[in-house]
Amino acid sequence: MMQIKNIHAKIGDNDILKGVNLTLEAGKVHVIMGPNGAGKSTLTKAIVGHYDVKVTEGEVIYKGKDILKMPPEERALEGIFLSFQNPVEVAGVNNAYFLRTALNAKEKYHNQKETNAAEFLKLMKVHVEQLGMNTDMIARGLNDGFSGGEKKRNEILQMEILQPDVIILDEIDSGLDIDALKAVSEGINRMKDGKKTFLVITHYRRILDYIHPDYIHVLQDGKIVKTGGPELVDILESQGYHALQKDT
Amino acid sequence: MATEKVDKIVSQEYQLGFSVDVIADTLPPGLSESVIAMICAKKNEPQWMYDLRVKAFHKWETMKEPHWAHIHYPPIDYQAISYFSAPKKAPNSLDEVDENILAAYAKLGIPLEEQKMLQGIAVDAVFDSVSVKTTYSETLKEKGIIFCSISEAISDYPEMIQEYLFSVVPSTDNYFAALNAAVFTDGTFVYIPKGVRCPMELSTYFRINAKNTGQFERTLIIADEGSYVSYNEGCSAPQRDENQLHAAVVELIIKKDAQIKYSTIQNWYPGDENGKGGIYNFVTKRALCDGENSKVSWTQVETGSAITWKYPSCILKGDNSVGEFYSVAITSKHQQADTGTKMIHIGKNTRSTIISKGISAMRGENSYRGLVKILPKADKARNFSQCDSLLIGSDCGAHTFPYLESQNPSAQIEHEATTSKINDEQLFYLRQRGISEENAVSMIVHGFCKEVFAQLPMEFAVEAKELLNLTLEGSVG
Ligand SMILES: Nc1ncnc2c1ncn2[C@@H]1O[C@H](COP(=O)(O)OP(=O)(O)OP(=O)(O)O)[C@@H](O)[C@H]1O
Ligand SMILES: [Mg+2]
């Protein structure tokens, strides 16, 4: 589905990614774990084309093309979605209006009929209820004054409406209460259709118990240092990342 | 960084910069008593009008151009400007209006021909110094509404003009108002009789076409007891290298239980990206809420002009009268705007609301200047002011100058101000959801302005949004 090949990247003058190799398989859930500051978020930003990250070497092949040459909106329209670790607030831009604009942009790009306002509201209502969101949040400014957990649910709402193919979730579980974690995980599980790929970044096992990952990758000091199955989580939980370092 | 591209987006070319060839009757540059006499003669004005003009002119000669505003421009040579330019033939009917003028208005989206007239909107078309056509005048007359050019009003309704003209903005009020009083050439006159709700939107479209001329129009609107009118003005000018002066005056008189809603979409030529050319817009607008429960709302969307100097004001004299000011001012390139309002609370329980949204991009400088004054008898007066600034890029500026004078301890005054920046992180977030950079900027800016747009009559809200999009549109580099 997506091949990340030998990615080296800088933020400012600092080398953060030092040769990341990772193949994301269609229909699978990949998880990246790793210590704070290892470069996990930097990797997600490199994939979506964030301006802070300068890729100096390597390529990301998706649908037969190196996406690193595409502007961010084109990558998004091609089906790559990033749920941000810290979603930004955009006061004044109505949440529902924003989401419909994004959906219509995608439909237009793929020569599909654009969802009209009435259809959209219906669609939105279904998802909002499923996620247990407060309905007044869709009428508010985008993430404007949302709590940490509300922002995360709003990211999942966007994911469900936009139906992307490569879904990157950067610490979607951080700061969620028990019910929210469950709602968010169910949202993720609803998206699984055997074709979509998930790249989930987390520090905790709780969410993994819900979403059943296929692969666990450990990213440390700008490189993937280990890949394994779900059992790897147990080793990490009991021994920490230090143990791995000795291994490798 | 992404904001550099935003600059390109906001520096979109001016769309209305064309000019048309019209055989014009233009006075040579210069200002003197004899020029005023010539203007009066061309317009067949009565002696009393001439006397008022000359009085204003002499006062003006003793006054100094004000320089307290946060704007900078080279000295204006008032003797280098022509004070009158009119299409050669004064048209008696539309058939006589120069084809090129009709074409110019059509291009601006304002067809004047009978068959094509805009539905539900009566238009007074002012071309350089004269009104060339007023539509639906006859229909309105059936309700007793007067909607005509101010020149016509001076000859047809002299009593009303003598009573009300200069009654809200005296001929010697300020430098530019005095200049206007001396040389104003045309503008719109509206009278809404007692208890009448004007059945259509009234509007004036000001177009500067001639070179080296100034435009000095004067608008007077009287809403008699219990009446209502929604009035709109729009304007544009050709793209020229030299600066042109526009010094207008608007006076509104609102009687007991009456209401005027006054909306402006100002799109004068703003000058080029090096700051060359553009209109200098020095305007005095003032409303007198004379009677109890009277109400005035000023809504303005200021996108054009090299310089904007404008403070639509409300004198809240009647008890329980209400004044509102909603403003969006956008400055990009080298545009400078110093705009705001004055709310003068005289009567009891008077209320005022100020919502000002300033957007600065590129090297634009945007200042809000507002005065809230509560006089001793204005018991329980209330004011709410909110002034928000949005910065796009780092070479532009936003400034807020709120002045407050309260002489009544029972007054309640609230002021809120915010300054925000369109930041790269927000733009990136929207782009990651598949929204182009151009649309992302436009969404943020529209979101910022929406409280003000909500105040515009529907037809004009659409126009304002499109105008904003044009200002924001452009190729993303
Ligand atoms: N904008 C920035 N400017 C300077 N340094 C940055 C910037 N963004 C990230 N970094 C640095 O890059 C390194 C990698 O950061 P990154 O956010 O990718 O870590 P992470 O693995 O996601 O960590 P965490 O688990 O804490 O989220 C860190 O040392 C961080 O300080
Ligand atoms: Mg991170």
ipTM, interface predicted TM-score of the complex: 0.96
Q: What backbone phi and psi angles, to 5 degrees, belong to A15? A: -75, 120
Separation of alpha carbons B186 and B43, rounded Å: 9
Using an 8 Å CB-CB cutoff, list chain B residues near A162: 433-434
For the residues B123-134, what does the mean pLDDT come to?
77
Counting the structural domains of chain B, the total is 1
Question: Do A72 and B439 make contact, defined as CB atoms within 8 angstroms?
Answer: no
Among the partner residues A51, A81, A92, nearest to B428 by beta-carbon distance: A51
Q: Nearest-5° angle of CA B353, CA B356, CA B357?
A: 150
C-alpha distance from A93 to closest chain B C-alpha (Å)? 5
Dist. CA A155 → ligand 1 center (Å): 21
Residue B271 clears pLDDT 50, i.e. is over it? yes
**Alpha carbons B368 and B70: distance in angstroms, whole number:** 10
Percent pLDDT > 90 in chain B is: 49
**Residue B11 lies inside a defined structural domain of this protein:** yes
**Tens digits of residue pLDDT in B204-227:** 888 777 777 888 999 999 999 999
Distance CA B2, CA B13 (A): 20
Q: What's the pLDDT score for residue B7?
A: 53
Strand order across the B121-127 sheet:
B130-134, B121-127, B201-207, B228-236, B259-266, B295-302, B322-331, B351-361, B382-392, B412-421
Distance CA B113, CA A42 (A): 63
User: Nearest Cβ partner of A94 from B423, B437, B447?
Assistant: B447
Please say whether the beta carbons of B348 and B439 come within 8 A. Answer: no
Percentage of chain B lying above the pLDDT 70 cut: 91
User: Which numbered atom of ligand 1 lies nearest the CA of A42?
Assistant: 18
Which residues are registered as beta bridge partners of A197?
A: A166
Give the pLDDT score at B473.
Answer: 46
Q: Please choose from A11, A217, A221, A223 the residue to mutate so as to test ligand 1's pocket, defined by most ligand atoms within 8 A of CB.
A: A11
Ligand 1 atom closest to Cα of A44?
18
Q: How far apart are CA A23 and CA A2, in angstroms?
A: 6
Q: With an 8 Å Cβ cutoff, are B435 and A73 in contact?
A: yes
| E strands in A123-175 | 141-142, 166-170
A79: alpha, beta or left, given left = phi > 0 and alpha = psi -120 to 50?
left
Judge whether B100 lies within some domain.
yes
Angle (deg, nearest 10), helices B175-183 and B33-42: 50
Q: Which pLDDT tens digit goes with each residue over A108-155?
A: 999 999 999 889 989 999 999 999 888 888 888 899 999 999 999 999
- Partners of residue A77 in chain B, C-beta under 8 Å: 434
CATH number of A2-247: 3.40.50.300
Residue B477 lies in a domain: no
Q: pLDDT category, B476, cuts 50, 70, 90?
A: very low
B443 contact residues in A (CB cutoff 8 A):
93, 97-98, 101
Residue B109 DSSP code:
T
For chain A, positions 11-50, list CB contacts with chain B under 8 A: 48, 50
Output the CA–CA distances (angstroms, integers) from residue A194 to A25, A189, A199, A213, B177, in the order listed. 10, 11, 14, 13, 74
Residue B276's φ and ψ, nearest 5 degrees, are -90, 135
Distance of alpha carbon B349 from alpha carbon A22, whole angstroms: 70
In the prediction, which pLDDT does A248 show? 47
Residues in chain A within 8 Å Cβ distance of B427: none
Query: Considering the entire predicted model, what is its pTM?
Result: 0.81
Taking only the tens place, the pLDDT of each residue in B30-60 is: 899 999 998 999 889 999 999 999 999 999 9
Cβ pair B429:A84 closer than 8 A: yes
pLDDT in the model for residue B130 = 73
Distance CA(B322)–CA(B353), nearest Å, equals 8
Question: What domain range is B221 assigned to?
Answer: 2-472
Q: How far is the CA of A18 from the centre of ligand 1 (A)?
A: 14
A240 lines ligand 1 (CB under 6 A): no
Q: How far is the CA of A148 from the centre of ligand 2 (A)?
A: 15
Residue B264 vs residues A105, B287, B327: alpha-carbon distances, Å = 33, 14, 9
Contact B362, B471 (CB under 8 A): no
**According to the model, what pLDDT value does residue B205 have?**
84
Q: What is the pLDDT of residue B91?
A: 54
Q: How many CB pairs under 8 A join A and B?
A: 72
Residues of A within 8 A of B436 (CB-CB) are 73, 105
Which residue among A20, A42, A171, A174 is best mutated to probe the pocket of ligand 1, counting the most ligand atoms within 8 A of its Cβ? A42
Has residue B89 got a pLDDT over 80? Answer: no
If one residue of A10, A13, A16 were mutated to test the ligand 1 pocket, choosing by the most ligand atoms within 8 A of its CB, it would be A16
Give the chain B residue nearest A74 (alpha carbons).
Answer: B434
What residue owns the CA closest to ligand 1's atom 7? A11
B117-131, B198-212, B332-346, B422-436 — which is least confidently predicted?
B117-131
What is the β-pairing status of strands B278-289 and B243-246?
parallel
Pairing of strands A2-11, A53-62: antiparallel
Q: Whose CA is nearest to atom 17 of ligand 1?
A: A41
Closest CA in chain A for residue B436: A73
Query: Of the ranges A45-49, A95-99, B347-351, which one carries the lowest mean pLDDT score?
Result: A95-99
Whether B2 shows a pLDDT value over 60: the answer reads no
pLDDT of residue B472: 53
Comparing A68-82, B87-101, B239-253, B294-308, the range with the smallest average pLDDT is B87-101
Q: pLDDT band for position B420 (50/70/90)?
A: confident
Contact (Cβ atoms closer than 8 angstroms) between residue A199 and residue A165: no
- Average pLDDT of the residues of chain A: 93
pLDDT over threshold 70, residue B422:
yes
Six token digits for residue B105:
């208005």
User: Which amino acid type is present at position A38?
Assistant: A
